[in-house]
Structure 1
Amino acid sequence: MESAAAAAAARAFPPFFAESARSSSQSRIPSRPKLSRSPLLSSLSRKIGLRAPPTAVAMSGAAAAAADENPSSKEAKLWGGRFEESVTETVERFTESISFDKELYRQDIRGSKAHASMLAKQGLMDDSDRDKILEGLSEIERLIENGEFKWRADREDVHMNIEAALTDMIGEPAKKLHTARSRNDQVQTDFRLWCRDAIDRIIPYIAHLQVALVTLALKNEGLIVPGYTHMQRAQPVLLQHHLLAYVEQLERDIGRLVDCRARLNFCPLGACALAGTGLPIDRFMTADKLGFSAPMRNSIDAVSDRDFVMEFLSANSIIAVHLSRLGEEWVLWASEEFGFITPSDSVSTGSSIMPQKKNPDPMELVRGKSARVIGDLVTLLTL
């Protein structure tokens, strides 16, 4: 039976099974064929113009010499005390996060300033070193905001970019900044600060939309429109009543963000990698300087959980659903069949082939962009 199966496989895939068919009596598992013997692989290689792997496993002497000039070489390798080889450029490109986490720079600098001030107050850093660190961080923030800061992918992320730039700027004092701090509690602190700042930016936008809806309702006092169920006319309702339904939904959206902010507003600094530090730090000082309600009570919880991000994205996903619903309804109302509203020319687009059309593109895009927020939540939940 096994010989018959091997023969059938050999007929179907001769390049792969030729060698194994000859030795089928010696082994149940066909030996692995050489890929170079595969016509399929050869054909694909010719099609894409592949001559050699993009990155060789071993570097030639010339390549190794060139790597010595590269900032990602052994001398500059981050956290690379035990490594003998430099990271390849392919791995650097795949693992870098600076292209998106540089958005955390304000929060990272704010957290580092608070940490440096605490270290000096506790006698873990000289006041002169603290002052140099604070001045250096302020200068880095200025450079970033003016577009003059050079982000480097070989420095992995926003945290190391800022820390390395500070070291280049002020020297030895910068190396004391990471005393009694790990990337674990640092990243968590930055992320909590970012979510808190984002909530503080989002709530006023929702409030402005509420004001706009109330204003629209007041302008149309007494106007009656059909109320629909199952997309069939059901009962007459005041347009005011209909619009104010969205105001109520948005009010609950604000409430969810406020609740989320209160729950995430605790400081992870001091938890370090996992179980705190034996150094005499003052966690209450850093929490207070950063505007947190208090330090987090459990160091493992502080660095290991991201439920505050899930809650933040959940609240935003509900907001997105409400905005999508409003957008879809107004697209429908703007159609010739309904004709309830006529969008202004200033918020409409035309057609490339049908000149009579007036498209409510902004409201359509509200729906489309809302879907991305919901998708981000699902992505986070499945990570």
Structure 2
Amino acid sequence: MSSDGKLWGGRFADGPAPELTALSRSEPRYFDLLPYDVAGSQAHVEGLRRLGLLTDDEAGRIVAELDAIVADHRAGTLAPTPADEDVHGFVERVLAQRLGAVAGKVRAGRSRNDQAANNLRLYLRDQVRVVHDQLLDVAEALVGQARRHLHTLAPGFTHLQPAQPVVFGHLLAAHAQSLSRDAGRIRDWDARTAFSPLGAAALAGSPIVPHPEHAARQLGYSGVCPNSIDAVSARDHVAEFLFVASMTGVHLSRLADEICMWVSDQFRWARLHDSYSTGSSIMPQKKNPDIAELTRGKAGRLMGNLTGLLGALKGLPLAYNRDLAEDKRAAMDSVDTLLLTLPAMAGLIRTLEFDADRMRRDASARFTLATEVADWLALRGVPFSEAHEITGRLVRLCEERGCDLPDLDPAALRSVDSRLVPEVLAILDIGSAVARRTAPGATAPERVAEQLDALAEETSDARGWAARYAGPRT
């Protein structure tokens, strides 16, 4: 370490220009990685002790002092100075001040390159478990509401137009399914990310660290990165996390957009709880779905983080380049965004009050039972293309008369096609239409109940995944 606390400098006759120092210094937020940097350092110290490069006493003193650095930083009694270029230099500077020359032994066999890669891996593996369980909270809130609306009928939409009647719980379960997949993507991501870059050093590996698998086990990894160059230069695991975060943001945004519609005066399907809505500074009557709107906006931010990192990675030669410092900004901002958004959405969903009677009235609006007529004809041998045409003419007749399909009399049916006998009127009921759809995954209440049971079981099983993590946590 140079006299001013930097981890480099012996080769340079002049100090860096202030502009270089300003650009090169880590953003203040990055110093929050200190607990992970310390965890990696402690695993490295154990490796040096095992090799005899540190005595038991030296290793014990260093590990204890590293714990003290974390505690002091959390207590606010220790903070980086403007001269600390990054968290690695900050930790080494304080360690040297407190322990003297023995602290310099810790640098043997490692580089900021593998340290930086390790810090972010540990941070993400820790934080995604919090994100994962908060995702499950939102899914559980949707399942809870869906169970209350297992027999509530509502119109399903295509192209934002009433299409066919469905169980409202079916629609809520559809949103829960997408979020459950996002939680699964996190678990899949972790399995690919659970490999330690420590021991790769700058890029070629280090003869001083012949057994990096020991540190990997201590830090909760499944193994060691199989290629030292890839270990320090790859950031596809960060990009993949950012994709999962973006996909989660998109799913939350789609749900948020529907909530905005449901609580609108045009729909009036749902009412916002006072504690999860806001008012207007000028219009006293307003009750606004701010959580849904803010969540919808955050989706763009999450997508921007992914795009920004992919742009930074594109065209980078192997191995390490300072462009890779962009990984922390994108990853940490996305974690912060999700941890801010998910609890708010879970609370919003849990406290929504739905108007089942209004949804039922809307379920039969705008000819949502037309497909029942076409299916009825097809089941009686009429080619579906012809049945579709007949039903379309029937709808046009209703529009001309200003009535709905169940309002037609036998004469009106015959005027469209002789095969439209009065028996067809018996199927024009939204409850019956829903009940007939009994295929797996369909909207009949018993099928929706099965979907909700499966979602609840999957969520319950997934809850234990985060708790089983053996790596360092903050």
Whole-Å separation in 2 of the counterparts to 1:342 and 1:75: 61
Counterpart of 1:224, as a letter, is: L
1:163 shift after superposition: 1.2
Aligned: 1:306 with 2:235? yes
Correspondences of 1:1-383 after superposition (within 5 Å): 76-279=5-208, 281-383=210-312
* Secondary structure class of the residue paired with 1:234: strand
Alpha-carbon RMSD: 1.6
* Secondary structure class of the residue paired with 1:153: coil
1:104–1:146 Cα change, 3 Å: same
Counterpart of 2:215, as a letter, is: T
Structure 2 counterpart of 1:27? none
Whole-Å separation in 1 of the counterparts to 2:192 and 2:76: 34
Structure 2 counterpart of 1:32? none
Structure 1: unaligned runs, 5 residues or longer: 1-72
* Alpha-carbon contact 2:5-2:84 (below 8 Å) kept: no
Counterpart of 1:161, as a letter, is: F
Counterpart of 1:377, as a letter, is: L
Structure 2: unaligned runs, 5 residues or longer: 313-474
1:75 shift after superposition: 5.1
1:78 shift after superposition: 4.2
* Secondary structure class of the residue paired with 1:154: coil
Structure 2 counterpart of 1:50? none
1:318 shift after superposition: 0.5
1:78–1:182 Cα change, 3 Å: closer
Moved over 6 A (4+): none
Deviations 1:39-86 (A, max 9, x none): xxxxxxxxxxxxxxxxxxxxxxxxxxxxxxxxxx97555411122222
Higher relative contact order (CA 8 A, sep 6+): 2
* Alpha-carbon contact 1:92-1:153 (below 8 Å) kept: no
* Alpha-carbon contact 1:98-1:153 (below 8 Å) kept: no
Whole-Å separation in 2 of the counterparts to 1:220 and 1:209: 17
Whole-Å separation in 1 of the counterparts to 2:101 and 2:34: 22
Whole-Å separation in 2 of the counterparts to 1:81 and 1:174: 18
* Alpha-carbon contact 2:200-2:231 (below 8 Å) kept: yes
The count of corresponding residues between Structure 1 and Structure 2 is 312
1:139–1:98 Cα change, 3 Å: farther
Whole-Å separation in 2 of the counterparts to 1:335 and 1:263: 43
* Alpha-carbon contact 1:78-1:155 (below 8 Å) kept: no
* Alpha-carbon contact 1:184-1:303 (below 8 Å) kept: yes
Whole-Å separation in 1 of the counterparts to 2:3 and 2:101: 21
1:174–1:83 Cα change, 3 Å: same
1:75–1:225 Cα change, 3 Å: closer
TM-score (norm 2): 0.64
Whole-Å separation in 2 of the counterparts to 1:153 and 1:309: 28
Counterpart of 2:136, as a letter, is: A
Whole-Å separation in 1 of the counterparts to 2:16 and 2:83: 9
1:318–1:346 Cα change, 3 Å: same
* Secondary structure class of the residue paired with 1:237: strand
* Alpha-carbon contact 1:93-1:153 (below 8 Å) kept: no
* Alpha-carbon contact 2:6-2:85 (below 8 Å) kept: no
